Structures are given as C-alpha cells and as structure tokens.
Amino acid sequence: MKNYLNQNPVVLKLTILLLAALFLLPLVVTSPTLMQIFILVILYAYFTSTWNFVGGFAGVLPLGHSAFVGIGAYTSTVLLQTYGLSPWFGMIVGGLLAAIVGVIIGLPTLKLRGAYFALATIAVGEGIRVLFENVKQVGPFKINGPSGISITLTENSFTAFQFDTKAPYYYIILIMLLVVLLLTYYMMNSKIGYYLAAGGEEPEAAEALGIKVSRYKVIAMAISCFLTALGGTFYAQLMLYFYPKSILGLDLSYEIAFIALIGGRGTILGPVLGALLLRPVSELTRIYIGDMLPGLHLVIFGLILIIVMRYYPKGLVVPVKALFNRHIIDRFSKPKRIDESTTTEKAD
Amino acid sequence: MIGIIEALINGILMGSIYGLTAVGLTLIFGVMKVINFAHGSILMVGMFAAYWFVILTGWNPYLAILIVVPLLFYFGYFMQSWVIKPIFEAEKDVREPITVIIVTTGIWYVLDNLALMIFGAEFRVAKTTVTGKIVEFMDMYFLLPKVIGAGITIACGIYLYWFLKHSKMGKAIRATSLDREAASLMGIKQSKIYNIAFGLGSACCGMAACVLVPFYYVYPTVGVPFDIKAFIIVVLGGLGSIPGAILGGVIIGIIENVGAQFMAATWTELLLYAVFLFVLLVKPSGLFGLKQDF
Amino acid sequence: MSLLEVKNVTKKFSGLIAVNDVSLTVEAGQIVGVIGPNGAGKTTLFNCIAGALPPTSGSIIFNGKEIAGKKPYEICQLGVTRTFQVVKPFGSKTVLYNTMVGAFAQTQHLHEAEEKALEVLKFLDLDHKKDVVSKSLTLPERKKLELARALATQPKLLLLDEVMAGLRPSEVTEMLPTIRKINQTGVTIVIVEHIMQAIMNLSEKIYVISFGKKIAEGDPHDVVADEEVIKAYLGEEYVATQH
C-alpha cells in the first residue's frame, strides 16, 4: 500500500478528500431522514464488510449471517434491560458470544463443499430465528419471542449509547466501518490472509504446503461473527426496536450477501461499493413506492444480482476499478494501476 | 395412539408430495451438479397458475395438471437456457459452481417478490370440488385432496424412475449425469439435456403444485418452506437419487406430522433443521447418495 | 538412521491392492527415483508418503517419526513437501504471492516470508517473473513455480510427482540441473518419474514398482539391465526374444 500511495499521490489526495467529506457530512446535512439513510448505508457497508471475512476470504457462501446480527442485538439489549449494563460492554459480550456460536457452527460446516455450506448456513440461520421467535424468556432474560424488544429512549449520552441527534450515530458507525476496512487490509496482507486465499483457491495444494485450511476458515468465521454482532448492537441502539423477523431473517442475510456479491467479495472496497450502490436503491424504493408495491426493492436487487453475476461474477468493483484507473489515475499522474494490495485481477 | 397413527399416515401422505418436489430438485442436481435455490419459487409459480386456473374456470382442479405441468416444464426449460446457461458454461471447469447457486438465489428473490408485488401477500384458498372433503379409514380422518395428491405423486415418482431407466431420453439424462463429457462424445448434446432436466424438475413442481392447491394455502412465499424441506430431503435421501428423494420426503413428512403431536409446530421446524444438519455432518451422501467427493 | 523409511506399506482400495508390501529407504542428501510402468502404483505409494492417502498397513518413518496416516499439512510441517503432477498454482495470484504462501510455513511475518520467497525465486531463476499472475505462466515456468513454492517451505525431503510430465525434451534437459541444484543445498529428493532420461541422470538409487510390488532396487544402470524390470516394461515376449 505504501508503494502504491507513493506512486499515486492522486489516490492519497482523493482518499483524504473523501475522508474529510465523510467526516464533515453531518455539518452539512440537517435532515434527520437523510442522515438516517446515510447511517444505514454505512451500516450495511459495515455488515457486508464483516460478511466478507467469511464470504470473501474464506471463499464460502454464508447465507445465514443475520443470526450474528441478532445475537449481537439481543445480547446487548437484554443485558441492558436486565442489569443496566452499558450497551458498549454488552456489545463486546454479544460479539464474543457470536464468535463462540460461529466457531461451533463453523467447525463442522466449513469443511463442507460450497452448496452444502450454503444450505447449512440457511438451516442454522433459520433455526436460530425460530428459536428466538418461540422463546419468551430465558432465565432472567426477557426475549419476548416474536414481538421483539424495544429500548426506551431515556438519555442522551455516550455511555448509554443513546443520542438525541443522528450525528453521533453516524460517526460511530463510520469509525466502526473504517476500523473493519483497516482490519480487512491488514488481514489480506498477513499470513492468515495468504493462507485463506490459498485454501480458497487450491485447497489440496494449500494442505501440501502445511496449511490446515479448515483452521483458518474457522478463524475467519470467528472474526466475522464477532464484528457482525457489534453491528447488531449498533442497529439495536439506532432503531430502538427489533424483532426476530427484522433482525434474524433470511431477508437480512440475503440482502447482506447479495450486496457483498454484487459489489465484489474478497476485496476491500467491493462490499462497500455494493452498499453504496444498492442501499440507496432500497431506501428510495421504500420511501417513494413502499407500500404500493412491497418487495419491489428485492426484485430489483435480485435482477441486479443476476445481471451482475452474468457479466461480472467477481463483482462490480472490477469494472469500477478499471474505470477509475483509466479516467482518474492515468489522467492525473504517472501510470501505475490500482492493485488490491497483492491480488492482481487484470489478467482476467 | 390413534392420533399418532393418523399423524403417521398424514406424514406419509404429505411426505410423498414433499418427495415429488424433492425429486425435481435431485434430478436437476444429479444432471447439472447444481443446487437450484429457486426450486420453491417455481413451485409457487405453479401453485398460482393452478389457483388461477381453478378460480377462472371452476373446473376440476386436477385438470389443471394438463396445463400447469407443461407450463412449468417450459418455464424451467427456458429459465435454464436463458438465464442459467451462460453462467453455468462460464463456470464449467471451476470446482465449485458458486455463481450458479448465487444466481438461482437471485431468481428465487425475484420470483417471490414479483408474486408479492402482483398478487399481494394474502393467503388464498381455492375452493374446488374436492376441497375439505374427508376420507375415513379405521376411525381416522384424512383430507381427500391429500390422499389423491399422495397417490398422484407416488405414481409420478414411479413413472419418472421408469422413464429414466428405460426410455432413450432417460438414459441420455443418466449418462450425462454420470459423465457429461463421455455422454457428449456419444452424441448427446449437453445443453439440451440440461434444459430438459431443468424442465423436468420444474414439471415435478408443477405436478406437486396442482396437487397442493386443493388443500394448501397459496401465497407468494409459499415456496420457501417447501424449498427448505426439499433441500433437507434431497440431502437426506442422497443427491441424485430419486428413490432417495421419495423416501426422504416420507421420512420428513412423518417427522413433521408425528413431531407435531408432541410439540408446537414451530418447534418441529427446528427439529427438521436439526435433522438436516445432522445428516449433512454425519453422512452427507445421504441414504442413497452417489459417491461424491463431499 | 535413514531420513525416510517406508516399511511394508500396503494400500488396498476395496479389493484392489494398489501397493503391495513395499519397502524403501532414503538416506539424507540422496536423490532417489521411483519408476515403474503405468498403473504400477507409484503415485498411490507417493500419495501414502505425502499424506494424501492413509496406507492400509505398514509404517512410514520420517526423521525418526511415524508419519503414516498423518494429514498432508502435518507432514509438511514435519519437513516433507510434495509437488503435484498436475501443477496447482494459485492461479489468480502472482508468482511472488504463490511462493510466499510456501514461505509462511516457517514464519509468521510478512516481510520474512517475502524475503525468503525472493531468495528462492532468485535461486530458481524465476525472480524476473515475480509479479506475473501465475495463470499466465508457461508450463515449464509453472513447474518451476511449483518447485519454488515447495522449496520456500524449507523442506528436508522434497517429493516430486512426475515433475517432468508434459515437458518437451529440451525443457526436461533444462529442468535437470535445477533439481540437482536443489539437492546440492541439502534437500533430499524422492522423484517419481516416467521419463527415463531424467531418472537415469538424477538418481543415485532407484526403485522399480510393478503391479504394486517392488521388483528391483539399486544402482540405476544395474536396475535398468535387470531382466525382471525389462519384463515389467516390455513384456515377457520381448525378454524371450532377447535370449
């Protein structure tokens, strides 16, 4: 990355500009509805990026990831309501719980082939949802089954993870996203990243080189589940209300997976790109067409998915990068193209 | 006690209908090595077609078979040749055709939500000449359409098995599923076989749909539980095995119905997922599965 | 103590005996060849040693440790690395990336892995292609990459599975000094091969396998003249005509 940035001062300048714009955004946007949309876009970029650890790097197709969103949300909220524990701590507990569940699920299933793993994740995801829908209380914890839990808005403080305005939420999720992206970059350029890439591409060769492929996939799973659950807590604190179908459903799992796939799994920016393109579509169709034609945005998603997979199976990040290279980099600086750190997809 | 036997028989009846759906799925898998995630949605399309047939004509619902089955055959045939084929071809040499799976998932979403948009979310019921009629047998009561449905689906299963074993097309299909390259060297056109396999698989859904409409609710996401059960059955029975699919269907039907005697319906859902995961992890090739490198 | 001792290894596949009570030893620093007609069971034997298949019976001792039945990654971690007859590069990744994957077997750190990988690539004269995506390489280059990757794991024993397969005679001749060079750095090599030129040129000792059984072992020139060996390759009738 350092080499790349040195040779392309343009990209560095653009990145700084972009980051500045992102951080200054709340000062410019006043409408809470608009802010909410931005927050949700970044939240989805967050979810797709954490999904990416398993769906991109481990090379499998998890279609039940909303389970971990739910575990995060329920854990922190239930701890808040039962013990008054600050959601920040609850978040960590939720993350750890999700990681443990993820590892338990992953250990046997990550050895399965593509379609079987996908099916297994659907079964587990739906199973967890059914579980939450049917349980009203676990010990001292009230889960309320299908009606879900709502959080009362009591204060406006950082420790309570509740705010009067949208801006603090925005900054929190933005920072969370940036941290995840940094983590993704770091992982790609570490032993784990190399081993996961190898295991995903040629597992037999990888094993012959000393890599216990399944072990690394499980590690990726644990990281992904932990981070996803953190997002779940954020979602709970943002929306102040959630119920099994909203937070644990196949719909959410699929949406996350689809967006990541359309954007480009296994890359740093792909999932973010997907969220940037598709999330506004979702919000806009909901706002303007919403009740008249329910499900329209999912139809659009599905169609986009099919079309993109047909022409760009590696995701839209590939053509977008090519365009970026051609129009921005070449125009403004010495020709040295974008490489996703160590992967080179040009030869496609 | 009688309740349990009744549940058992209901399980077998419903299970054979599940089984036919699973047969379609297993056929597509056996030939193309692809798991069609859109299978349930195809069933849903068939159910709406049969529903509208009955509503608009008022005729005997089983006559719908004559229209819906061929309709779904072509629906599947063209879905494969227009949408899935180009992606399938691109992935032919890849070990794991994940993109095809992704695309069928996309199709699932498009179909289900289109139906939602067009027809709305209500649960519809078709009032047919057989709806609600009961058959009595040794103090136990069964829905007539269910019994007829089971009979038809078992007959279809047997016919399909015979077809694959003895007819020329059937042999071509089996040849392609065993070794597509060898089959193609023998003059069998691969893409045609895939289209037909997909068409046949969808036709199975069509048959199941017609048989379900007289007694089952029709709504846009009706395909989802059937889809998931079909996956479970197909893994349980063994991917690529028709007897496995039917037997698996019956087992699932029994578990579901007998289980409901002892626990709430939603918990039986959980039980089915548990069975599924158990099979996936312990014996992924299922009861009759082909020796695959799982 | 020999570096590798294969003792009475048998491998059965439901009724078919692919490897029948084969024993062989490899001393540290040697290049040992394993030859035999097609279907003789060489590759199965190879796979048993490499961990791709568990032997039905017998033991395989590497550096004093029993490795029979262990998984390939465990065996690699113990110091035995294999290459594949049908090369399996990580196609979408560069030559350097591929080699680094191998190098990570001995380190946790990116820069160390990179250093080692560059060192190996230089040794094998492949460093000028380090940034090339591996699926664009020619076949001999891919074979070299396969070697580089394996070498980067710093093995004590290198198992080469028909590394010459698919190469033209001129390419084979070019590969020979490379393999010798690797051996000279102290890496013991077992090479399973069809191409006689390579085997005769490289091996200090060869074993001949036919129908799963070891039928000859020893100095290459002696073995090649052995009647049983000729019979195995060319048939009884040929041998009869020579008398």
* pLDDT exceeds cutoff 70 at C101: yes
**pLDDT of res. B95:** 58
Per-residue pLDDT reduced to its tens digit, B170-221: 888 888 777 777 777 777 777 888 888 899 999 999 999 998 888 888 998 8
Which chain B residues in 201-230 lie under 8 Å from chain A, judged by CB atoms?
220, 224, 228
For the ranges A263-267, B183-187, C188-192, the maximum mean pLDDT occurs at C188-192
- If you average pLDDT over residues C215-239, what whole number do you get? 77
> What are the backbone angles phi and psi of residue B58, rounded to the nearest 5°?
70, 10
User: Taking 60 as the threshold, does the pLDDT of residue B280 lie above it?
Assistant: yes
Residues 6+ apart with CB under 8 A from C208: C34, C35, C36, C214, C215, C216, C217, C223, C226, C228, C229, C232
pLDDT over 80 at A209, yes or no: yes
pLDDT in the model for residue B291: 46
Helix (H, G, I), strand (E, B) or coil at B218: strand
pLDDT of residue B93: 60
pLDDT in tens, B102-124: 888 889 989 998 998 888 888 88
Q: Are B102 and A309 in contact (CB under 8 A)?
A: yes
Percent of chain C with pLDDT over 70: 96
Interface test mutation site (partner B, options A253, A305, A308, max chain B beta carbons within 10 A): A305
Chain A residue whose CA is closest to B120? A294
Instruction: Determine, for residues A205 and C84 on separate chains, whether the beta-carbon distance falls below 8 Å.
Output: yes
- Work out the minimum CA distance from C132 to partner chain A, whole angstroms: 9
Interchain CB distance below 8 Å, A210 and C81: yes
Taking only the tens place, the pLDDT of each residue in B89-104 is 777 666 566 788 888 8
| Residues in C touching A191 (Cβ below 8 Å) | 104, 107-110, 113
CA distance A123 to chain B (A): 6
What digits encode the pLDDT tens for the residues A132-186?
888 887 777 777 777 778 777 767 777 777 777 788 889 999 999 999 999 999 9
For residue B227, give the chain A residue with the closest CA: A119
Can you give the pLDDT at residue A44?
Answer: 94
Mean pLDDT of all residues in chain A? 84
Q: Does B94 touch chain A (CB under 8 A)?
A: no
Pick B101's closest partner by Cβ from A109, A118, A296.
A118
Query: Which residues 255-274 of chain B have a CB within 8 Å of chain A?
Result: 264, 266-267, 269-270, 273-274
* Phi-psi map region of C191: left, alpha, beta (phi>0 left; psi -120 to 50 alpha): beta
Angle CA(B90)–CA(B95)–CA(B100) in degrees, nearest 5? 45
Least CB-CB distance to B117: which of A124, A131, A293?
A293
Contacts with A123 from chain B: Cβ below 8 Å = 228, 232, 273, 276-277, 280
What average pLDDT score do residues A314-339 get? Answer: 74
Q: Which of C101, C109, C147, C157 to mutate to test the interface with A (most CBs of A within 10 A)?
A: C101
Please give the full DSSP string across C182-231, using - where no structure is assigned.
HHHTT-EEEEE-S-HHHHHHH-SEEEEEETTEEEEEE-HHHHHH-HHHHH
Q: What mean pLDDT is predicted for residues A45-49?
A: 95
* Prediction ipTM score: 0.88
Instruction: Please give the pLDDT value at position B293.
Output: 30
Chain C: list its partners (3+ Cβ pairs within 8 Å).
Answer: A
A-chain residues within 8 Å CB-CB of B235?
116, 119
Confidence of residue A340 (pLDDT cuts 50, 70, 90): very low
More confident residue, A139 or C75: C75
Whole-angstrom Cα distance, residue A206 to residue A296? 44
Q: Does the CB of B98 have a partner CB in chain A at under 8 Å? A: yes
What is the H or E stretch that residue C34 is in?
strand C31-35
Answer whether A119 sits within 8 Å of B106, measured CB to CB: no
Count of positions (residues) in chain A: 348
Do the chains contact at B273 and A302, CB–CB below 8 Å? no
pLDDT tens figures, A293-313: 777 878 888 888 889 888 888
Instruction: Say which of A189, A210, A213 has its CB closest to residue C153.
Output: A210
The whole-number pLDDT of residue B277 equals 87
CA distance C102 to C120: 10
Instruction: Name the pLDDT band for A113 (thresholds 50, 70, 90).
Output: confident
